[in-house]
Structure 1
Amino acid sequence: MTNTSAAFPWKGGRPPHLPCGPGDIAQNVLMPGDPDRVLLLAEMLEDVTNFGRRREFAVVTGDFEGQRLTICSSGIGGPSTEIALVELGILGAKRIIRIGGMSSLVAEYATGSFVAVNHAIGYTGTASAYRSAGGKAEASPRIVTGLVRAAGELGLICRSGRVASTDSYYLAQDRRYRPVDDERDTAGSFIDNYRAQGAIGVEMESETIITVGGAIGLETGCLLGIHGNRATDDWLEDYAPTQRNLLRIAGRAFSSIDWELRSRA
């Protein structure tokens, strides 16, 4: 399709949302939520091209330990994450790993450690729509294994596990959503429900990443740094070291996958 249309609003091969075009995107992509984290992580790359920012989407491509890598922010929640995934896929991405934060639901998963998501349960509308197109909330086993192995090689703690994703940051994560001086509180039942379904953490994008990615033919996974622990009420004040370690772990996992693919060729 060469002409812009309502059904496919691209122009000159450029997407309507991401600030980039043909040839700008590497096959391996990391997706943090916050566009400011794209710039934080770009400092760890070499030969970087910064394509700028449009809305919640910031995009850079550079070299990390000898491999080409794109970092693209997803924004918060399912709708903006779907937009980034679809446009990245059309632009040539093959493998995408979400790198972001989550709240642990169990005391033994401490802040500052990591989880490689193997399955996501959730209440996100975007993922529900893509399930009808064949998407399943199951991460690529190769990516999960690669993330856990890479973390171990770097001396970092990373477990695999199931997480819950929700479109709600406050109510559906049992946070206070009324004024602080209001004595009423939430019912506190959402987290108990997630735990009952085997979730060890809660966040907002993994179900969308894995389900949409699977439906459109991408190999996907999620590596989450634990920013908060709802069992102990601990909160990680300085997240920058955790974010940088997310890149180190995921970058190494991508390298091992690329080596595996080359050895099979």
Structure 2
Amino acid sequence: MTVHIGAKPGEIAETVLMPGDPYRAKWAAETFLEGAELVNEVRGMLGFTGTWQGNRVTIQGSGMGMPSLSIYANELIRDYGAKTLIRIGSCGGMQPQVGIRDVIIAMTASTITSPSSGIFKELNYAPTADWSLLRAAVAASEGKGCTTHVGGIYSSDVFYAERPDLDEQMVRHGILGVEMEAAELYTLAARHGRRALAVLTVSDHLQTGEALPSEDREKTFGDMVEIALEAAFA
């Protein structure tokens, strides 16, 4: 057990999917895993372990934002031996060719600052995905017929941003979408020699104002979970 994860030794799998919402973790575990058992409910941040096609998988909520994800990713890696960590979540689209319900597979994750920024001092570290996971996720997504975009995303510190000038420059430089966790996950994975990836579903669009109705999200997010699982065990 750790401060934030109540699982006993051996209850966390080496492969962990990390949605921000703990109830999305519950839904994904009940929908896609066999024999899913609750292994963590400390602070309401639910985690479940079961099997997918015979492979052990943990689905652990990470909370919203990089500071929260950093807590869970650190403990999963350092105390439970997690080796593959895949963020599954929603994001806002930023490019005109990126549509609602499309899948974004993040090759890189830019950020202004993260919990790890202080250790780099003057260095602008570039967090990147694990290539083997990224390649497998693209193949899985294309195999499912999903409209898929691969490239850079932006991990924001804030949900309610007030920097239209920054948005303009990100769009200008090809950033596909915005979310709040991946840059720290990629950095931690690099630090500890683990594999990491973010597979995201576009739920709204910063330019058009379009948004995916809540009742339509479950099926679309299901594609994302399947892509992550297939990539993890390719």
Question: Which one of the candidate residues 178, 193, 215 is aligned to 1:217?
Answer: 193
- Residues 111 and 156 of structure 2 are in contact (CA less than 8 Å); yes or no, is this contact kept in structure 1? yes
Identity of aligned residues (%): 28
Shift of the alpha carbon at 1:135? 6.8
The amino acid that maps onto 2:108 is H
1:124 aligns with 2:113: yes
| Residue aligning to 2:140 | 150
- Residues 140 and 227 of structure 2 are in contact (CA less than 8 Å); yes or no, is this contact kept in structure 1? yes
| Residue aligning to 1:83 | 71
Shift of the alpha carbon at 1:18? 1.1
- Residues 56 and 73 of structure 1 are in contact (CA less than 8 Å); yes or no, is this contact kept in structure 2? no
1:1-265 alignment, distance < 5 Å: 14-43=1-30, 44-55=32-43, 57-90=45-78, 91-129=80-118, 131=120, 136-171=126-161, 174=162, 188-238=164-214, 239-256=217-234
1-structure distance, mates of 2:228, 2:125:
23
2-structure distance, mates of 1:128, 1:94:
23
Shift of the alpha carbon at 1:107? 1.9
Where structure 1 has 5 or more consecutive residues not aligned to the other structure, the ranges are 1-13, 175-186, 257-265
The amino acid that maps onto 2:143 is E
- Residues 136 and 215 of structure 1 are in contact (CA less than 8 Å); yes or no, is this contact kept in structure 2? no
The 1:221–1:170 alpha-carbon spacing in structure 2 relative to 1, beyond 3 Å, is same
Shift of the alpha carbon at 1:129? 3.2
Kindly name which structure, 1 or 2, has the bigger radius of gyration based on alpha carbons: 1
1-structure distance, mates of 2:116, 2:148:
25
The amino acid that maps onto 1:123 is I
Shift of the alpha carbon at 1:124? 2.9
Shift of the alpha carbon at 1:153? 1.4
TM-score by length of structure 1 reads 0.81
- Residues 103 and 199 of structure 2 are in contact (CA less than 8 Å); yes or no, is this contact kept in structure 1? yes
The number of aligned residues is 229
The 1:88–1:52 alpha-carbon spacing in structure 2 relative to 1, beyond 3 Å, is closer
Shift of the alpha carbon at 1:210? 0.6
| Residue aligning to 1:5 | none
- Residues 135 and 213 of structure 1 are in contact (CA less than 8 Å); yes or no, is this contact kept in structure 2? no
Shift of the alpha carbon at 1:94? 0.4
Q: Name whichever of 189-198 and 157-166 sits farther off.
A: 189-198
1:22-79 CA-to-partner distances (Å, cap 9, x unmatched) read 1011111100000010111011211111124112521100111221111011101111
- Residues 131 and 211 of structure 1 are in contact (CA less than 8 Å); yes or no, is this contact kept in structure 2? no
2-structure distance, mates of 1:56, 1:241:
24
2-structure distance, mates of 1:49, 1:131:
39
2-structure distance, mates of 1:63, 1:125:
33
2-structure distance, mates of 1:195, 1:212:
26
2-structure distance, mates of 1:21, 1:99:
24
Shift of the alpha carbon at 1:193? 2.4
Where structure 2 has 5 or more consecutive residues not aligned to the other structure, the ranges are none
Secondary structure of residue in 2 paired with 1:222: strand
Secondary structure of residue in 2 paired with 1:202: strand
The amino acid that maps onto 1:107 is P
TM-score by length of structure 2 reads 0.92
The amino acid that maps onto 2:213 is E
1:85-133 CA-to-partner distances (Å, cap 9, x unmatched) read 1111120110111001110101211111101100011123313135469
